[in-house]
Structure 1
Amino acid sequence: MKGKRVILSLVFLVLGFMIAFSYNLTSKKEKQESVNENWNAEYHLREQYIEQEEQNRKLQQQVINTQEKIAKMETNLAQGEQVLADLAEEAEKYRMFLGKVKVQGSGVEVTLSDGEYDAAKYNINEYIVHEHHVFNVINELYISGAEAVAVNGQRLKHDSYIVCNGPVITVDGQQHPAPFVITAIGKPNVLEAALMLTGGIRDQLVNENIVFALEKKDKIILDPIMGS
């Protein structure tokens, strides 16, 4: 009986050891599988995070590129608007120069009158206003920045011509008797200074027996030239 008990005890001991060993091995395996699963999940999450970061960088670069394109477009639009504004301003200047638009502004009014003379003693041609006197004044006004000029109210254009015919002058086919009133729109002080310069136009006219008068005007209105 004792021998059988010993054998049974050994059998149970071995069986218990085997069960404990199997349980311990299974437990370790389950822990290892759990660790592997956690590592795989973490690795997958890291892969997703890296992929998302890469997408974010690409999107950020696209945003930067788009912003640069928009900035260039805005710059081009601004430059285009400035070009159009400059062209409009130039066109307005040309229309003004051609006499196609009504103009108003400050400026000067120059009056050229025949000088006093004794017909018995002097040559009348040496005391009357000729076309070159009027032309010299007009030319000086344009050089000094006049935007528009008229003679006796007749607006001048880019191809106007002035011809002397005795005591009258003809401007673009229309006759005007003396005195000749030349009105010019521009900066009054600049125009006045140019005409009144010592040794300038005023002095030359006075030396040629022409009566010269100048008046600054706050408001001058010149109508557009009619016709083609």
Structure 2
Amino acid sequence: MIKRIETAFLLTLIGVLLGFMLTVQLRSTHAVRWPPPPLRVDENSKLLDSLASAKHTNEALEAKISDLQAQVDRYEKQVDAEIGTMAPDRQKLEDYQILAGTVPVHGPGVKVIIDDHHGPIPVGVDPRYAIVHDFDLRRVVNELYAGGAEAVSINGERMAVNTGVVCIGPTIRVGLARLVPPFTIEAIGDPQKMTSQLNRPGGILDLLRSRTVTVTGPVVQAELHLKSATGLTG
């Protein structure tokens, strides 16, 4: 990190020097090219000396500029090389940020909607399990992660590493948001793998359907956009 800061400082300093010397060179050239008034012999001699001196100064500045430009090229190549070696670490950081829910993410995925049972409860079904509970949502989310999900949201609330899903009276709190059914669960990742994981025999969706909970999907989505997590709570 210190090495990159030193490199950036040197590049900035070289740029300032280049700009200063170019300004001096342009001013010298402008002064020489300005149409002179009629001159006496001694003044003409002085002007010729000034022209020779300005030419010498310009040549020296041009040589210095070329040298500094070569240094800039070397530093730019060095910085590019350092950035190239950091690429894998940057990719890891981005992956961790996505999994942690701290950055927005978009991509293909699946959507599944889970709702309470509506209408008369069939005989033999416990009414307590004909509605969606917090542990049902947690199991669906866990199945999605097991199927390779990179990001998951419930009713638009992004799941983070420590987002809690708990019942609060008639609502289910996801993070800091209190949600009510129906629950739309969206997940970004490989659609086929997540679909297979959710639809496996005896899995969470089969269990919910056996309890008469309404399940729609999973439906493959070509493009989903999930925001970053707004509330991180356990």
- Whether the TM-score (by the shorter chain) exceeds 0.5 is yes
Find the partner of 1:87 among 82, 86, 89.
89
Distance 1:227 1:213, change over 3 A: closer
Unaligned runs of 5+ residues in structure 2 are: 1-80
Alignment match, 2:134: 131
Counterparts in 2 of 1:96-135, with a 5 A limit?
96-118=98-120, 124-135=127-138
Q: CA deviation at 1:165?
A: 2.8
Once the two structures are TM-superposed, the CA of residue 87 in structure 1 deviates from its matched residue by: 1.2
TM-superposed CA distance for 1:82, in Å, is 6.9
Match of 1:217 in 2: 221
Partner of 1:157: 160
Q: Distance in 2 between matches of 1:118 and 1:106?
A: 37
CA contact (8 A) 1:117 1:124 kept: no
**C-alpha distance in structure 2 between counterparts of 1:199 and 1:120, whole Å:** 21
Counterparts of residues 145-184 of structure 1 (less than 5 Å): 145-184=148-187
Give a deviation string over 1:15-71, Cα, whole Å, max 9, x none. xxxxxxxxxxxxxxxxxxxxxxxxxxxxxxxxxxxxxxxxxxxxxxxxxxxxxxxxx
Q: Given residue 113 of structure 1, which amino acid in structure 2 is its aligned partner?
A: D
- Change in 2 beyond 3 A, CA 1:213/1:120: closer
Partner residue in 2 for 1:75: none
Q: How far off is 1:217 after superposition?
A: 0.4
Deviation at 1:118, TM superposition (A): 3.0
Unaligned runs of 5+ in 1: 1-78
TM-score by length of 1: 0.60
3-state SS of paired residue (1:157)? coil
Is residue 114–residue 216 contact of structure 2 (8 Å, CA) maintained in 1? yes
Deviation of 1:81 after TM superposition, in Å, equals: 6.8
- d(CA) in 2 for partners of 1:227, 1:174: 8
1:205 alignment partner in structure 2: 208
Aligned-partner SS, 1:115: coil
- Shift of residue 124 of structure 1? 3.5
Distance in structure 1 (CA, Å) of the matches to 2:95 and 2:114:
28
- Secondary structure at 2:223 match in 1: strand
Larger radius of gyration: 1
Could you report, residue by residue, the CA deviation over 1:130-156 in whole angstroms, capped at 9, with x for unpaired residues?
011111000010111111000000111
- Measured in 2, the distance between the counterparts of 1:115 and 1:161 equals 24
Identity in percent? 32
Deviation at 1:167, TM superposition (A): 3.3
State the Cα deviation string for residues 80-122 of structure 1 (Å, max 9, x = none): 8776222111100111112221111010001001113437977
Q: How many residues are matched?
A: 152
Cα distance change, pair 227–136 in 1 and its aligned pair in 2 (3 A): closer
